[in-house]
Structure formats: structure tokens, C-alpha cells
Amino acid sequence: MFFLADAYFHTLSPFAVKFPASWPVAGIRWYGLAYAVGFLLAWGIVRWVAKRGWSPIPAERIGDLMFAVFAGVLVGGRLGYALFYERHLFYTFSNSMPYWDLLAINKGGMASHGGMIGVLLGCWWFGRKYHVSTMHILDVGSLAATPGLFFGRIANFINAELWGKPLPEAMQSNPPSWSVKYPMQIIEHWLAVLQQGRQSNAEYADLISKVADDFHIHASQSELPALVAGAAQQKLDIVQQQLGPVVGVDNLFFERIVDLARDSHAPLHQQVVQTLKPLLTAYYPSQIFQAITDGPILLGLLILIWLRPRKPGVIGGWFLIIYGVLRIITELFRQPDKGIGLTFGLISRGQTLSLLMVLAGVVCLAICVKRDVPRLGGLFRKGPMG
């Protein structure tokens, strides 16, 4: 029965706590909480390793290390996102806070690969300052990073971002319960019709009419279907020109529908869900897939490797290899980033960066294994280090 059930209908709010509209801050977002919990657990893991005597990292300096890692994740993640995916953020400005779009982290946009580069630099700074092997710091950081990776992907799912690929057509008529449908797809579908002409405007006008009738939308928006239907007889470029001014009104129309779908207490909630569900596509929950692989699976494998003392850098090298391989596999279920072509027409940007990560891990492992340095760690070794 689990596999015969319908797809999960995504109604989660990005806000853990929503503040009144009159407040200057909209609320507390799950994404921010994910970062906070991830860093708190990372601090606990590093402190646990240091207190058990398995690491030369000074226990009283763990706060400095976590600050360096936090700065690395924040700066590296944002710069990596802008460099890899949205380069216009470097030169786009606005008239409202924070004025420079590169600083508008509240709007989303962090790259895990960029964050890892930032963490590497933060660990290097800490190692030089406190005379601890940078490679060993990266080993401990590899363990500590896994909770943050897990909760970050869970937050991606709650925010309904980084969608997976659509399920095969044969599964769309009876999608399994582990798949997911996003009500906000109705907005993207509308924009696609206007900009790319994926289906006739006449067909879409029927859909809009049905939704408007079912939901009893306000009379001021009831003219919208007629506008679409009237323009449907003309060429697509003329349709786009004529409907351009209507897009803003229509966005409000569909955003209201999405709000009703998310609010289980709204009077029209059940009616909205019942009407929208058959119209939506079922997707792979790639965020959940990556949360499981990047979190507990990755942590478990690293613990198995570090049961015995290892030379500094070995665990970090294995982290790059395992994480990169898992990302390459799970990216098969995730949609490529919009506007970014496939490398060699085969693999996505995320898979490309992950492949480079695997290669870096192999090089790191080959170098660190041959170094004539003491072995450190050993998570179940009896007695302190030394």
C-alpha cells in the first residue's frame, strides 16, 4: 500500500515561526535553523573528539575554529554560488537593503562546493595560528560537517527548492507516496506557457477558467481567462506582447492558490488541494535522497574508516571521494540548475564539481598516505593520543 499511495503534496512553509506583517522581519526560517543546528552539532563533535584526547586541537580554542569554519561556509558558499551559478550577483544592485545582491543571502543561494572551499581556507588559517596540522583539522571537520549537510538538504526540501526530476511518465498516473508534488509548479507552468509556448494558450485558458470557477476567485481577476482565450487565436509573439502586462496580475492569482494549498486552516484548502493535485507533476524527492547520503551514510562510512588512527588528511581525502561519488549518483535524480548547460552534454554542473572533488580526494589520499607523520585519531582507540 505504501507504493500505491498518492504522491506527497508539498504544503510546508519556509518559516518555522511567522511574525506579524507589521514586524520588520518576516519570521524565523527553517533554513537559518538548519545552519544553526548544524554548527551546534559540529561544535559538539569537535569538542567530543578533543575532550577524548583523540586530537591535538586545543579544547579551549574550539570556538575560534568554529568561527573560522562558519565564516568559510558563509563567504565561500555565497561566493561559490555566485561564481558557479549566478554571476550576475556580482554586479547587480538594488535600492533596498542590502543594496548589493551578492549580500542578499536572505533570498537564498548557497553552493555546498563553494562552502567546502571556504571551510578549507578557514581550517588552514586556524592551523597556522594555533600550530595544528591543517590536514588533521580537515579530518575532524569532515565528521563534523555531516550534520550540517543533512539539515541543509532537509531545509531545501522544506523550502521547496532544488527540485528533483519528474518521475517517468508511466508512474505519473499513480505516483508512489515517496514522490512529491509542488503546488507552486502552477506558477512555473504559467510562465512557461507565456515565454516558451509549451502548450496552446487556449488549453491553458481552460485550466485557468476551471481553477477560477472552482475557487470562486475575486471578480477583479475573472477577466483573466477571457484575455487569454481571446489572444489564443494569434501568433505566440503577439500573445506574449499582449499578455505581458497581465503576468503580474496572474502571478498574484496563482500565488493566492499556493497560499491556500499550504494553509491547512484556510476554508478552501481541501478544495484547492483536490483541484491542483491531478494537474501537477510528481517529482523525485532528491533533497531527501541527498540528506540521507550526505548525512548518516557519509558519517557512518567515515567513522568506519577512522576506527583506527590515520595519518592527517586521510579522512579528509576519503570525505572528498565518498561525498563526491554520492553527489554524482544522487544528482541523477535532481534537475540541473536552470540556465546552465550540461558539461560535454552529459553531466550537470553539480556532477562536474563533484567529479573534481573526487579527483582532489584521490590526490589528497595518495599524498597523505605516503607522508612520514604520526597517525592521529582512532575513534575507538583506548587511551589518549600519543
Query: How far from 180 is each of 7, 31, 60, 268, 317, CA to CA, in Å?
Result: 5, 20, 45, 21, 35
* pLDDT of amino acid 319: 96
For position 298, what pLDDT does the model report? 97
pLDDT in tens, the chain (386 residues): 333 458 899 988 888 888 887 787 778 889 889 989 998 999 999 998 888 888 888 888 888 998 988 888 888 888 888 888 888 888 888 887 777 888 777 666 777 778 888 888 998 999 999 999 999 999 999 999 999 999 999 999 999 988 999 999 999 988 999 999 998 887 666 655 555 544 445 555 555 555 455 444 443 443 434 433 333 333 334 334 443 434 444 455 566 677 777 777 776 677 777 777 887 899 999 999 999 999 999 999 999 999 999 999 999 999 999 999 999 999 999 988 776 667 766 788 889 889 999 999 999 999 999 999 989 878 766 544 54
Give the pLDDT score at 116: 81
Find all residues with CB under 8 Å of 171, minimum gap 6, and list them.
179, 282
Give dist(CA 218, CA 241) in Å, integer.
25
Please give the Cα distance from 81 to 110 (Å, whole number): 5
What per-residue confidence (pLDDT) applies to 195? 52
Tell me the three-class secondary structure of the chain, residue by residue. CCCCCCCEECCCCCEEEECCCCCCCCEEEHHHHHHHHHHHHHHHHHHHHHHCCCCCCCHHHHHHHHHHHHHHHHHHHHHHHHHHCCHHHHCCECCCCCCEHHHCHHHCCCCHHHHHHHHHHHHHHHHHHHCCCHHHHHHHHHHHHHHHHHHHHHHHHHCCCCCECECCHHHHCCCCCCCEECCCHHHHHHHHHHHHCCCCHHHHHHHHHHHHHHHCCCHHHCCHHHHHHHHCCCCHHHHHHHHHHHHHHHHHHHHHHHHHHHCCCCCCHHHHHHHHHHHCCCECCHHHHHHHHHHHHHHHHHHHHCCCCECCCHHHHHHHHHHHHHHHHHHHHECCCCCCCCECCCECHHHHHHHHHHHHHHHHHHHHHHCCCCCECCCCCCCCCC
Burial of 125 (0-12, 13-18, 19+ CB in 10 A): middle
221 Cβ contact list (under 8 Å, min separation 6): 212, 249, 252, 253
Judge contact between 38 and 299, C-beta under 8 A. no
- AA letter at 176: P
Side chain identity at residue 308, one-letter code: R
Report residue 170 CA to chain centroid gap: 27
Its pTM stands at 0.76
Q: What backbone torsions phi and psi does residue 181 show, to the nearest 5 degrees?
A: -120, 135
CA 230 to chain centroid, in Å, comes to: 40
- Sorted by where each begins, the domain ranges of the chain are 8-163+285-370, 183-279
